[in-house]
Every structure is written in structure tokens, then in C-alpha cells.
């Protein structure tokens, strides 16, 4: 057996959890590389895209939707605010809260982000047919919603 023999499916690779963990990391790595051209990280992308969908929102809600601990989300928002893409505004209803919203510059960035994200996703999912991609997304979404964490 030569050293370049492809690894046969073994016990580890028959684990769905292992495959999820590997592919999740790989997907994230690829996406991180694609975002480098805009000097952004996945957390930045997530915050901007969530704001685009949900409109202005308090920090903790944004953080939850992006899947980041609110404590680790502070510096992410700092960076976006420094670059003029989001603004934190005091919430008159609850003065503890900061309503975060996209600036016009942030809005203008969205189309680039969408193009970049969808291209990275197309590349990554290329080994699957269109139909398989749809099935995969539906299953992952069901799992994501059903997982209590």
C-alpha cells in the first residue's frame, strides 16, 4: 500500500459528528480566506449580514444570532464602528441598551459581501448536485433549530 492511498472510510469517518466538525472548520477556513480581501473576519460578516436582515438591534441579540458570546462581540462591533459601517445609538426606552444599526456606508458594502459569500459557498458545495445542496441545507437547518445547546 503506497503512502498516497486515499484513506478508506474507517470508524472515525463513519461518524456524522466528526464529519460535521471537520467540514464546519473547513467551511469557516475557506470563508475566512475569502474575506481577507476586505480585511474582514467571519464575525464582522455575520454582524453586517444579520443587521441587513433584521434591521437595528441590541448587541446581545445580534451576538446571539451570529453565534458569538456577547462579551467577545464588543471588539467586533468596535472595529465595524471605527470603519464607519455601523453605529451604536443609545436606546431611549432602555438606557442600558445600545441599538446597533447599519450606516449608509455599511449598506453600500452589502452587495460586495453577498457576492463574496455566495461565491465561497458555491465553491465549497460544488461536489454536491443542486438537489443535494438543497437537501443538505434543509437537514442542517432542522438540526440547527432543534439543537437546544
Residues near its own copies (CB under 8 A) are 3, 7, 9-28, 30-31, 42, 46, 49-50, 52-54, 58, 61, 64-67, 114, 117, 120-121, 124-128, 132-133, 135-137, 139-147, 149
Binding site for DNA (CB under 7 A): 3, 25, 29, 32, 41-43, 58-61, 67-72, 74-75, 77-78, 88, 94-98
Closer CB to its own copies, 20 or 75, in the complex: 20
Closer CB to its own copies, 75 or 141, in the complex: 141
Report the nearest approach of DNA to the CB of residue 29 (Å). Answer: 5
Rounded-to-integer distance, Cα 141 and Cα 147, Å:
10
Report the nearest approach of DNA to the CB of residue 24 (Å). Answer: 10
Closer CB to its own copies, 58 or 87, in the complex: 58
Rounded-to-integer distance, Cα 66 and Cα 60, Å:
10
Q: Which three cell numbers stand for residue 12?
A: 472515525
Exposure string for 42-65, b = 16+ CB within 10 A, e = fewer: bbbbbbbbbbeeeeebbbeebbeb
Report the nearest approach of DNA to the CB of residue 91 (Å). Answer: 7
Closer CB to its own copies, 92 or 127, in the complex: 127
In order, the DSSP letters of 81-134 are HHTTSEEEEE-SS-TT-EEEEE-HHHHHHHHHHHHHHHHHHHHHHTTS-HHHHH
Q: Which three cell numbers stand for residue 58?
A: 441590541
Amino acid at each position: 500500500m503506497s503512502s498516497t492511498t486515499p484513506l478508506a472510510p474507517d470508524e472515525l469517518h463513519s461518524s456524522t459528528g466528526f464529519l460535521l466538525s471537520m467540514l464546519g472548520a473547513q467551511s469557516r477556513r475557506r470563508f475566512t480566506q475569502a474575506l481577507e480581501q476586505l480585511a474582514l473576519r467571519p464575525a464582522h460578516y455575520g454582524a453586517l449580514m444579520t443587521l441587513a436582515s433584521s434591521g437595528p438591534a441590541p448587541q446581545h441579540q445580534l451576538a446571539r444570532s451570529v453565534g458569538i458570546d456577547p462579551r467577545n462581540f464588543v471588539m467586533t462591533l468596535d472595529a465595524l464602528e471605527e470603519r464607519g459601517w455601523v453605529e451604536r445609538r443609545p436606546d431611549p426606552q432602555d438606557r442600558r441598551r445600545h441599538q446597533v444599526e447599519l450606516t449608509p456606508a455599511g449598506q453600500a458594502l452589502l452587495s460586495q459581501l453577498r457576492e463574496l459569500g455566495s461565491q465561497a459557498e458555491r465553491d465549497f458545495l460544488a461536489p454536491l448536485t443542486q438537489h443535494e445542496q438543497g437537501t443538505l441545507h434543509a437537514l442542517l437547518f432542522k438540526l440547527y433549530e432543534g439543537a437546544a445547546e
